[in-house]
Copies of this chain bind each other. A is one copy, B any other.
């Protein structure tokens, strides 16, 4: 165990380890080596050992890592051993889709409130949650001890919503709007922008095929 500061790259790999470990546990595999993890996750085994060693001596020399023990430890590191409540702002298609992923996030991380500023949406029921008006944000954040906000509003509203989330006491934001949010340094913001993902993918297309693009004849209204 060392006490250097942990880079974001390391932190982002932990959930990936966790996911595969959970799969191993389901298959009743009790031990795994950095070698095998690396092969499955397309990572260098030394990197995996180093990542884990930042947080403790979780493995056994000559043996590998105990799957259940490592799951427990990574869950602790990521704070997934405590209940973390999440608010979602933006009850559009994407917000609707994400609210379904509650199941995925297991018991501990949970979307407990959905907000929208567009009045016809307020009062709608989405996955057992009633869409609330923005006016109730602060009250609800305090009542439920909500610590993370997810933004799924259009880009031009995103900064405004972020400001409101921050003012209400939220600590971290996952932003799906295609815009760079400004926030105080103590607020953690991750951007999940698939237009950027998709556009950067285009760069890697093989240009020998550019004239292979056909007209598109999709069904049209």
Contacts and interface: CB of A to CB of B under 8 A. Distances in A.
Contacts of A198: 86, 105, 109, 148, 150, 174
Contact of A197 (B80, B97, B174): B174
A196 interface: yes
Contacts of A167: none
A14 interface: yes
B82 A196 contact: no
Copies of this protein, total: 2
Contacts of A214: 85, 143-145
Given A93-B100, A218-B129, A84 B196 contact: no
A83 to B, nearest CB: 5
A62 to B, nearest CB: 27
A174 B201 contact: yes
Interface in A166-221: 171-172, 174, 176, 178-180, 186, 188, 190, 192, 194-207, 209-210, 212-214, 216-221
The SS class assigned to the A binding surface is mixed
A192 to B, nearest CB: 5
24 contacts: A41-B180, A79-B207, A79-B210, A83-B213, A84-B205, A93-B93, A94-B94, A94-B97, A96-B97, A105-B195, A109-B198, A144-B214, A144-B218, A147-B205, A147-B209, A148-B198, A148-B201, A148-B202, A172-B204, A172-B205, A186-B206, A188-B201, A190-B200, A192-B197
